[in-house]
A and B are shown apart, each in its own frame.
Chain A
Amino acid sequence: MGGASENSFEALALPHLEFIYRIARRLTRDHHDAEDLVQETYLKAYAAFGRFEMRQFGVRPWLLRILNNTFLNRQQRQQRAPRSADQQALDEIHADDSDATPPELDFEHLDGEVKAAIESLSPEFRSVLLLWATMEFSYKEIAEILDLPVGTVMSRLHRARKQLTAALAAYAREQGIRGVDAEP
């Protein structure tokens, strides 16, 4: 674990800091908590660096995995964990099997609404959706990062997108945008 070499922890992990912070910020929804979470993640990553094998996982997914586990542990410690997302999904699956196609909207100007919709997701759905949104990871890679079966990732992603879509459709209706309810 040398200080300056190109294989040192700093050289490999610090270039991902901003990316990790942005994910943490959206996960925690608070910039103080996000910074604490990032610092804790990096300390844990440093402590585990000797056991890290890049060829197995890659630096960024490895950091994301530590971030996610740390986030979940904190939630459990604070006893704020909501009921399981899988249970939520099961509860809703029969009640609502509608299409989750996004409405016809100008997405270039909807970032504020998308941001609010992402923040309203439960943590389990939010973490899957954030990793999907980076456009870097496949379902399988997201599953590895979050330590979930691929099927669960797909199910949570479906649910998360559906909630996003519902929020945006509601916004579009409020704005009087036509064709929102039309099935493509």
Chain B
Amino acid sequence: MNPAWRKQRLVEYADGELSPGERAEVEAYLRDHPADRSVVERWQALRQSARRVLDAEPVPVGLAERVRARVAVARCRHSGRWYRLGASGLAAAAVLVFAVLMWPRGAQATSIQVSGFAAVHRRCALEQQHDALGVRRGARGASVRQLQAVEPLARQLPDLTAVGYQLESVCRCGPAECRGCGARVLHACFRRSDDQDVVVSAFVVDRSVQLCAADGSHCSQCQRGRRCFRCGTDGDITVVGWNEGRISYLLAARMQRQELTRLAEKLHVGEVWPEE
């Protein structure tokens, strides 16, 4: 074997890329060349080590259930859509009329489950204080205004500091369905100054979203002041959402629905994007 060909052959042998005949040929060669056998063994050991690293990765508890739930919602929507489309042209026309009436601006709302926002609130705000934008690390006591310098979407963030909360952490985590439709999400965690146990997550999504329950049905709706809120619960967490212009705002917290809606009603949001 010439050196270059030999080296390539040994790598392919270690990777299991050779035919049985070629393998036998290399194995015969290796019997007489212990140094090269050692090279092959090291390639294989490296691969096995890489595999051990991969296999050792712990999988989050409940991941399968969360994925199963999302697929169930997708199936529900899928079936509903085909039922409507397949039933008759009239049904399609009804959907079209409904869409025109509900979204006169032409914006299409994406349905997102309450549990998606609640899960991010639990994970990033309550359990881990996920702070990808370094609010705690770099700018202690940072205000929403300071945050705007590093994240343009923060201009839209409801400023809970004006109603007695402190900004604790900020990340870009959101429900997978938001990512799935290409939406950008900003998630900020606020803690009440006079009661450290009260934590509120504020989400900003750069498009219209509509909260829905786990079975895909719409969440309850209520009008308060100039805002129309949709509310839902997931376990002990309440999520309230509303749309302004092309932006969606959501709050999540361990609060009663009425209390969270009252808080949402008071909030000022930044520059509202112009309507299409």
Contacts and interface: CB of A to CB of B under 8 A. Distances in A.
Interface of A: 1, 3, 9-10, 14, 17-18, 21-23, 25-26, 31-32, 35-36, 38-40, 42-44, 46-47, 74, 77, 99, 101-104, 107-108, 110-111, 114-115, 118, 129-130, 132-135, 138-139, 158, 161, 164-165, 168, 184
A101 B51 contact: no
B87 interface: no
The 7 closest A-B pairs by CB, nearest first: A39-B176, A133-B50, A107-B45, A102-B42, A22-B57, A107-B49, A115-B53
B39 A42 contact: no
B75 A3 contact: yes
A44 B177 CA distance: 10
B50 A114 contact: yes
Contacts of A110: 49
Contacts of B24: none
A108 B39 CA distance: 16
7 contacts: A3-B75, A17-B67, A26-B57, A31-B60, A43-B71, A132-B47, A135-B48
A35 B78 contact: no
Contacts of B75: 1, 3, 46
B67 A14 contact: yes
A31 B42 CA distance: 31
A10 B182 CA distance: 25
B49 A35 contact: no
B15 interface: yes
Contact of A36 (B50, B71, B176, B182): B176
Q: Is the interface of B mostly helix, strand, loop or mixed?
A: helix
Interface residues of B, number: 47
Contacts of B60: 21, 31, 35
Contacts of A22: 54-55, 57, 59
B139 interface: no
Pick the most buried of B53, B56, B60, B173: most chain A CB atoms within 10 A of its CB: B53
Contacts of A17: 59, 63-64, 67
B43 A102 contact: yes
A102 B46 contact: yes
B179 interface: yes
A10 B176 contact: no
Nearest to A18: B59
Interface in B33-88: 35-36, 38-39, 42-43, 45-57, 59-60, 63-64, 66-68, 70-71, 74-75, 78
B50 A138 contact: no
B36 A118 contact: no
Interface string B8-47: 0001000111000000000000000001101100110111
